[in-house]
Amino acid sequence: MSTPGRVEITVLGQSLTVRTEATPDYLRQLAAYLEERVSALTRSGMTDPLAAMTLAALDITDELFRAREDQTRQDGDVGQRIGALVDMLDRLAPGSAQPRRS
C-alpha cells in the first residue's frame, strides 16, 4: 500500500486538499465529473449550489447502488450458469469430473 498524498481540487469554486492514495489526475477527474453533474442541475434552473451538490451526490450514489445491485445479480447469474454446466457435464460423463487418484 502506498503512502497517501495530498491533492488539491476545486469543486464549486471551493478549494479542497484531499489525502488520498489515488493519482492526482484520477481525483481531478472525479471532481470534474461532480462539477459537470452540478452544472447540469444549475442549467436546469436550480439556483442553490448546496442543493445542487446534494442532489448530484444523491444521484451519483443512486447510480453506484444500482451498479452494485446489477453486479451482484450478474455474479449470481454466472454462478448459476456454472452450476448448470457442471451438472450437465456430470450427466454427460458421470465420474469424469472427479479428480483422479494416483
Name residue, grid cell 486538499. 17
Q: What's this model's pTM, rounded to 2 decimal places?
A: 0.66
Contact of 16 with 10, CB cutoff 8 Å = yes
Question: What is the pLDDT, as a whole number, of residue 73?
Answer: 80
CA distance 85 to 79: 10
- Tell me how crowded residue 52 is: count the other CB atoms within 10 A of its CB: 20
Question: What is the pLDDT, as a whole number, of residue 52?
Answer: 94
Looking at residue 83, what DSSP letter applies?
H
Which of 36, 16, 14 lies closest to 24 in space, CA to CA?
A: 16
pLDDT in tens, 30-47: 999 999 999 999 999 999
User: For the chain, what is the mean pLDDT?
Assistant: 86
Position 98 confidence tier, pLDDT thresholds 50, 70, 90: low
